[in-house]
Structure 1
Amino acid sequence: MAHFAAILHMHDVEKSQTFRPNHLSYLEELGKQGKIFAKGPFGDGSGGMVVYIADTLEEAQQLAQQDPYVVEGARKLDLREWKI
């Protein structure tokens, strides 16, 4: 298993507020599946980060791209493998 940091840059504040419950529900479900290492917003309001646990970059991309924030265009995704 590897860790992948999904940096979610703020793109649309209104959409972020609208889709926040969906985003949180999505992450809660993935957390129950053991797919989330850490998550949270940045203190300056510029977005947030989710650290996924996945076997491959492709799996992590699939998980990150299905986040409602990304699907709905509220946040811009920047996904990188995190070597911890």
Structure 2
Amino acid sequence: MKYFAALSPMKDEQKSAEYRAEHLEFLKAQAQAGRVLMNGRFTDGAGGLVIYQADSLEEVQGIVKEDPYVVNGARDVEIHEWDMQTTYTFEK
């Protein structure tokens, strides 16, 4: 399994607001299917980031093409394979 970072810069704020619920339902379904590791918006309004789990870039490209944000022109998308090395746990 490989990881892919999908950056989704804001293209149209009005469309983004209009299709937000559909986009979140889409991501929820992808997470339930084991294809989304994590996701979130950038707090400055610039867009968001989704970390996908898949076997190939082509698989992720196919998934992202179905995202309501992409389908409806609310966001652009840029996908990069991500070589996640490790996760850290810090004690307080």
TM-score by length of 2: 0.89
Query: Shift of the alpha carbon at 1:65?
Result: 1.5
Q: How many residues align?
A: 84
Letter in 1 for 2:72: E
Max Rg structure: 2
Is 1:32 matched up with 2:38?
no
Let me know the Cα RMSD of the aligned residues: 0.6
For residues 15-54 of structure 1, what are the structure 2 equivalents within 5 Å?
Answer: 15-54=15-54
- Segments of structure 1 that go 5 or more residues without pairing to the other structure are none
Letter in 2 for 1:19: Y
Deviations along 1:24-50, whole A, 9 cap, x unmatched? Answer: 000000111110111000111100001
TM-score by length of 1: 0.97
For residues 4-19 of structure 1, what are the structure 2 equivalents within 5 Å?
Answer: 4-19=4-19
The answer to which structure has the higher helix fraction is: 1
Structure 1 moving runs of 4+ over 2 Å? none
Query: Shift of the alpha carbon at 1:11?
Result: 0.3
Mapped partners of 2:23, 2:72: distance in 1: 10
The answer to which structure has the higher strand fraction is: 1
- Segments of structure 2 that go 5 or more residues without pairing to the other structure are 85-92
Letter in 1 for 2:5: A
